Amino acid sequence: MGFPKFIIRKSSNNQFYFNLYAVNGEVILNSETYTTKQNCIGGITSVKVHAPYDNNYVRKVASNGQYYFNLKATNSEVIGTSEMYNSAQARDNGINAVKRDAPIADTEDNS
């Protein structure tokens, strides 16, 4: 299976999370942890639904001056957080990658 794709994994505390990989194979979005795999899959579905719309992204600057973003669902819950970027432009490129890749990404279960 190629990229883009969501990969589901199991954490050390037996919870589930996913990463979204862009077409270039880089991680562009990380999820929270979920107590069940079904809830994790629901999180992926929510990302696919909300990713195309710019108003669902909250652009942020970390205390160390790096840039990142959160993707929020309609209910304002964070459904994904980006990696850290060195510039606002790089962060915005990351947002554009999520908009482009999330709706078409396959899912791979590595849990």
Task: For residues 95-110, give the mean pLDDT.
Answer: 96
Confidence of residue 18 (pLDDT cuts 50, 70, 90): very high
Q: Is pLDDT at 16 greater than 80 in this prediction?
A: yes
Nearest to 5 by CA among 99, 79, 110, 105: 105
Q: Is pLDDT at 1 greater than 80 in this prediction?
A: no
**Alpha-carbon span 3 to 12, nearest angstrom:** 26
CB 105 within 8 A of CB 18: no
27 C-beta neighbours (distance < 10 Å), count: 13
Give Cα 81 distance to the centre of its chain.
6
Architecture of the CATH domain 5-109: Roll (2.30)
pLDDT in tens, 60-90: 999 999 999 999 999 999 999 999 999 999 9
